[in-house]
Structure 1
Amino acid sequence: MAEQEPTKLPTPSSCTADFCLVPIGTPTASVSKEVAEVQRLLKKSGVKYSMHSAGTTIGILRHNADA
């Protein structure tokens, strides 16, 4: 596979990503404080998102697809 310059890779006009928080090496399995902070950051960013029982899905739409 030929190496490509990351800045020259085509960028889709929209994308979706899903993530979840998993506590590792913590005394408790609770991540409620971290989830609340993620929600505050997402609201502040203006990114479209949906929180669900298995994590959070974010969707990004670039308005200037040619930029």
Structure 2
Amino acid sequence: MVLALVSRTLKRRFNFRFVLADGRETAARLRTTWVLVRRAGVWQILQHHFSPTPDAPPIG
């Protein structure tokens, strides 16, 4: 039996923009990394990481 193991790392950034109640604009970035592995022809998530979600929109 031959088992082929192929892996990939995906890194993505998601940008969010907010308009505060007083009209000021602010932004936040969510970062994610997934390590995918292909086993027996099926892609599976081997590891994943998501940056922490801010409790409130960043001001500045």
TM-score (norm. length: structure 1): 0.27
Choose 1 or 2 for highest CA Rg. Answer: 2
Q: Which has the higher helix share?
A: 1
TM-score (norm. length: structure 2): 0.28
Q: Which has the higher strand share?
A: 2
